[in-house]
Structure 1
Amino acid sequence: MTTSMANERRDQLEHYLQNVTVDPNMLRSDVFVEFLKRVQLDTFSITAKKAALDVLLPDGRSMEVEILTSDTAERVLEVVSHKIGLCRELLGYFGLFLIRFCKEGKLSVMKKLADFELPYVSLRSSELENCKVGLRKWYMDPSLDSLLMDCRAAVNLIYMQAIQDIQEGWAKPTQAQRQELEALQEEGNQTKFLELSREVRHYGCVQLDPCTCDYPEPGCGAVLSVGNNEISCCVTLPGDQTQHVVFPMSRVKCWQVTFLGTLLDMDGPQRTLNQNLELRFQYSEESRWQWFVLYTKQAFLLSSCLKKMISEKMAKRAAENPEMSGFSRCRPWEKTAITPPGEDFSLQVVLLGRDLPNSTEDISNHQGATPLVLAKRRGVNKDVIRLLESLEEQEVKGFNRGTHSKLETMQTAESESAMESHSLLNPNLQKGEGVLSSFRTTWQEFVEDLGFWRVLLLIFVIALLSLGIAYYVSGVLPFVENQPELVH
């Protein structure tokens, strides 16, 4: 394999893994999660061992928990919730985030850690300074506060986060609201405090760091607050004037995240942005679809927030419409793939790499193709192919079906052992069909590793040797007629 072919194969694999992690069927699989854990550990040369992790609470305190470096964010969240007394059935309303402290003492939420991410590895591998793993509530609809009021630990968390958001300037109460909130805080009346907070502007929203946008013209500064089913944007115009723009999620059709690492060195407006991620969303204005483009390092956090708002909107519709009752049992990230009648929603992730210019993948619609089919089409690594074959066979047998229904049971895998052999993952390997499949896979690997022409040459040499042995034994030249037989 040439260098260019290896680079292309690597880019295809990166692109595939970026998209396949959004597939809810893959995220429910212990096998695939175990594979992703190994990839993270191997990439940063970190061994699985016991470690201490400081988790930042909303009130600014740090809580140390004993974990394994191979523990996923889902597992670490369980450990933290158990330590603070958070009800297990409410885990789905909270999440772990990568939080950075700026020089001015302000905090910045950089990203939401996915369930399969390893917090210890993410923290060690982060290029940003002064980062910590933090616990925050993870829902964008403030009315969901009411579902947590029966759990004392949950109320404490959202109460502390409400105070923090007001102090950080993310939630913007009026002067009268601020005075009343301060009085309730002095009284320690958390319930009334949260009830009043829900009336505060931008309460429950996530505010992003100042970034750059192309609205109303390229190069304008912007500060975004995302939540409560809208995107609120404060744009700084060239004349230092500000303009507030609000995009309701009902007007947003789709969005996409683009990696601009290879474009920053080129001539053009991106050269001066000093940002390597772009998020653009399409919205409706005066019966026309337009794009709003943002250049921010928090693009994936923003994408997660948009997806969460769609998820909560669909869940609310499911509760109101009995015909969508099956939808209400989905996991949060599954709900975005269901398009309500009359709406066209899609989530796109774009990777512009070395050999993949302008390559776009719509991850909400694979035209019915399974991950295994997609992997074979893209020619990804043989280890991934074997993993997906094993996974698909297990899915057919029902081994992984219903393993994780997150918001109902929040069950998590306890096994920390690594995969030792692919044969252990395949329950049909000892059967006739499994042996045939194993032989075919082994032969394909042999041809791929050695090369097609080398294998062909090897077969030719073996054939010549066979003919030579046959002549030595019988004295008869193969394929030649009318020759005397040699008698020993």
Structure 2
Amino acid sequence: MHFSIPDTQEVTDGSGSTYTSFNIHINGVFHCTARFSLLYSFHDQLKKEFGANSLPPFPPKKVVSQKLWAKKWNLKRYYFLVFSVSQEAAIANSDVFNSFLLTAQQETQKEQPENVSLDIYLMNGHKISVNIISTDQTEDVLETVASQIDLPDDFVYYFGLYLVKKEGEAETSIVRKLQDFESPSISLKSANVKGVHRIVLRKSYWDASFDDELLANKVAMNLLYVQAVSDIERQWVLVTKDQKEHLKSLQQKGSKREFLRLARTLKHYGYIQFHSCTVDYPQPHTRVIIAAGNKELNFRIFVKPDSLKEAVFKITRIRCWRITTTVDDNSDNPDSSMLELSFEYLIAKDTLQWVTIQSEQAILMSMCLQGMVEELIMKKQGKKIKKPSDRVRRGKKSFARENSIPSGLVQSPSSEKEEKTHLPVTTRHLNKTVSKMQDLKLGKGRGAQNGDSVTNTAFEDAIGDDDL
């Protein structure tokens, strides 16, 4: 999870008092705004749930410098540490965590619970309209969709809801996977100012062997089939001329199961492909097409305008990765920043090398890496994909200091800048333990700087001598 507080607003409440509200961005997009007391109340709830020793100290309201940027930075550092701890302590999946962010999103957008119809699409454009409460969280909506199409409970969480953006007559791109701390209805309304976004149902796992468990069920198989056909048509899955003819023949016969079995053998089946971007591998300013899947990042490198070569980076050999924002020192344009995803890769035995990708989809790439790592660890531990019955359902929590959400939460930043990504900037990359993370220093200057690193928990345990 990527968290930032890029800016603040001055808000006047119902009594005429003015206070500072912090704009919170999660995974690259504006999520909510909250005042300091609400954030502190959230910290109190986390302490009650997980114990004070499981959390870093909360930054004091009055900082030594008395400057707002220092307070803002302390909050950034605190939440980065919380999210880092959550990878092991399951804070991010807790009811406290999700309820806070969901409630804050609802209050920020001034959304009152009401019955609404929400359209969910398949990759082929087929529409499923479901009746929900406007403030329902993502997992509630996913379960409602599954119930409406008769997808068995065992298979509900093999799929996920994704925010997708239309970019041309027939072109779409995945923006991000919707998380349980948000309401799909609110998130779609917030993103859809220009009417180019929709919510799509796609499978949410990376290991193609999970397909075997779904092929015996007609509904699950049909969902896989629709996605496979779409991904092949949009050339996310690479096929030869002979393979394409064979697939076409199976389609004409209505042999969906055989179609999927053949599709699974094709290059980049089950991958997510990103827009063309720039990397510094094998040399600076190299143009590539990147795809994520099958426990790897796959680079197709443009050696000539019509010639590509391949480079593969296995996730088990990525020691850590980080997201940064770079700003041109010579530019006065505040929108001249560029997102970068950098990862430290075991290029050879005892040899680590940083590889940097410049892409507007850097956060989505990072989330794909995280998803593949988590799935790899899940399988190694012998765990299964969860079912609806595994969810712990509790009543709505209150996070205000006086048992009410403070008034004065305001609307998101203007629609014209809504998709602009802001990320925290620091001056050193982070090591594995939280105690080391607490040594972070505030970044200075406007040039490229290192961001908070995510340690890959699959790195040390998953690599053997035969991998090198």
TM-score (norm 1): 0.63
Could you say if the C-alpha distance between residues 239 and 174 of structure 1 is closer, same or farther in structure 2, counting changes exceeding 3 Å? closer
Name the SS of the counterpart of 2:90 in structure 1: helix
User: Shift of the alpha carbon at 1:309?
Assistant: 2.0
Distance in structure 2 (CA, Å) of the matches to 1:266 and 1:120? 39
User: Shift of the alpha carbon at 1:36?
Assistant: 1.0
Q: 2:285 aligns with which of 208, 212, 219?
A: 219
Could you say if the C-alpha distance between residues 368 and 67 of structure 1 is closer, same or farther in structure 2, counting changes exceeding 3 Å? farther
Distance in structure 1 (CA, Å) of the matches to 2:372 and 2:206? 6
Distance in structure 2 (CA, Å) of the matches to 1:200 and 1:175? 12
Task: Give the aligned partner of residue 427 of structure 2.
Answer: 358
Superimposed CA distance per residue, residues 218-271 of structure 1 (whole angstroms, 9 cap, x where no aligned partner): 32222111111221111235877533211122322221122x1xx435239x99
Q: 1:89 aligns with which of 154, 157, 164?
A: 154
Distance in structure 2 (CA, Å) of the matches to 1:302 and 1:128? 25
Higher strand share: 2
Name the SS of the counterpart of 1:169 in structure 2: coil
Could you say if the C-alpha distance between residues 101 and 34 of structure 1 is closer, same or farther in structure 2, counting changes exceeding 3 Å? same
Q: 2:237 aligns with which of 171, 175, 178?
A: 171
Distance in structure 1 (CA, Å) of the matches to 2:169 and 2:287? 19
The answer to whether structure 1 residue 101 and structure 2 residue 166 are counterparts is yes
Task: Give the aligned partner of residue 258 of structure 2.
Answer: 192
Superimposed CA distance per residue, residues 376-428 of structure 1 (whole angstroms, 9 cap, x where no aligned partner): x99xxxxxxxxxxxxxxxxxxxxxxxxxxxxxxxxxxxxxxxxxxxxxxxxxx
Task: Give the aligned partner of residue 264 of structure 1.
Answer: 327
Task: Give the aligned partner of residue 5 of structure 1.
Answer: 67
> Does the 8 A contact of 1:251 with 1:284 survive in 2?
yes
Superimposed CA distance per residue, residues 276-332 of structure 1 (whole angstroms, 9 cap, x where no aligned partner): 42211111223321111112222222122212222333334334xxxxxxxx26979
Task: Give the aligned partner of residue 126 of structure 1.
Answer: 191
The answer to whether structure 1 residue 50 and structure 2 residue 132 are counterparts is no
> Does the 8 A contact of 2:161 with 2:201 survive in 1?
yes
User: Shift of the alpha carbon at 1:53?
Assistant: 1.7
> Does the 8 A contact of 2:119 with 2:199 survive in 1?
yes
Higher helix share: 1
Could you say if the C-alpha distance between residues 276 and 105 of structure 1 is closer, same or farther in structure 2, counting changes exceeding 3 Å? same
Distance in structure 2 (CA, Å) of the matches to 1:254 and 1:284? 10
Name the SS of the counterpart of 2:236 in structure 1: coil
User: Shift of the alpha carbon at 1:275?
Assistant: 6.0
Amino acid at match of 1:236: F
Gaps of 5+ in 2: 1-61, 388-421, 442-468
Superimposed CA distance per residue, residues 1-52 of structure 1 (whole angstroms, 9 cap, x where no aligned partner): 6996333323433443455356153234323322111111233333333322
TM-score (norm 2): 0.65
User: Shift of the alpha carbon at 1:136?
Assistant: 0.3
Name the SS of the counterpart of 2:201 in structure 1: strand
Superimposed CA distance per residue, residues 431-466 of structure 1 (whole angstroms, 9 cap, x where no aligned partner): xxxxxxxxxxxxxxxxxxxxxxxxxxxxxxxxxxxx
Name the SS of the counterpart of 1:244 in structure 2: strand
After superposition, the CA RMSD in angstroms is 3.3
Q: 1:277 aligns with which of 336, 339, 345?
A: 339
Amino acid at match of 1:140: W
Distance in structure 1 (CA, Å) of the matches to 2:334 and 2:280? 13
Amino acid at match of 2:341: L
Distance in structure 1 (CA, Å) of the matches to 2:307 and 2:239? 22
Distance in structure 2 (CA, Å) of the matches to 1:273 and 1:292? 24
Number of aligned positions between the proteins: 340
Distance in structure 2 (CA, Å) of the matches to 1:297 and 1:18? 21
Q: 1:310 aligns with which of 373, 378, 399?
A: 373
Q: 1:299 aligns with which of 322, 343, 362?
A: 362
Distance in structure 2 (CA, Å) of the matches to 1:159 and 1:119? 25
Amino acid at match of 2:273: Q
Superimposed CA distance per residue, residues 87-145 of structure 1 (whole angstroms, 9 cap, x where no aligned partner): 11212211111101111421101111122222122222227841111110011111210
Amino acid at match of 1:39: A
Distance in structure 2 (CA, Å) of the matches to 1:146 and 1:298? 31
User: Shift of the alpha carbon at 1:149?
Assistant: 1.7
Gaps of 5+ in 1: 320-327, 333-350, 379-488
Task: Give the aligned partner of residue 156 of structure 1.
Answer: 222
Superimposed CA distance per residue, residues 46-87 of structure 1 (whole angstroms, 9 cap, x where no aligned partner): 333332221111221122222222211111111111111111
Name the SS of the counterpart of 1:12 in structure 2: helix
> Does the 8 A contact of 2:121 with 2:127 survive in 1?
yes
Task: Give the aligned partner of residue 13 of structure 2.
Answer: none
> Does the 8 A contact of 2:302 with 2:308 survive in 1?
yes
Distance in structure 1 (CA, Å) of the matches to 2:204 and 2:102? 23
Distance in structure 1 (CA, Å) of the matches to 2:339 and 2:185? 24
Name the SS of the counterpart of 1:126 in structure 2: helix
Task: Give the aligned partner of residue 64 of structure 1.
Answer: 129
Distance in structure 2 (CA, Å) of the matches to 1:86 and 1:97? 18
Superimposed CA distance per residue, residues 312-357 of structure 1 (whole angstroms, 9 cap, x where no aligned partner): 33334334xxxxxxxx26979xxxxxxxxxxxxxxxxxx864xx64
- Aligned-residue identity in percent: 31
Name the SS of the counterpart of 1:231 in structure 2: strand
Task: Give the aligned partner of residue 144 of structure 1.
Answer: 210
Superimposed CA distance per residue, residues 176-211 of structure 1 (whole angstroms, 9 cap, x where no aligned partner): 111111111111111111111111111111111122
Amino acid at match of 1:192: E
> Does the 8 A contact of 2:281 with 2:355 survive in 1?
yes
> Does the 8 A contact of 1:275 with 1:295 survive in 2?
no
> Does the 8 A contact of 1:21 with 1:27 survive in 2?
yes
Distance in structure 1 (CA, Å) of the matches to 2:429 and 2:182? 24
Distance in structure 2 (CA, Å) of the matches to 1:217 and 1:156? 43
Distance in structure 2 (CA, Å) of the matches to 1:271 and 1:218? 24
Could you say if the C-alpha distance between residues 307 and 357 of structure 1 is closer, same or farther in structure 2, counting changes exceeding 3 Å? closer
Q: What are the within-5 Å matches in structure 2 for residues 355-394 of structure 1?
A: 357-358=426-427, 360=429, 365-367=433-435
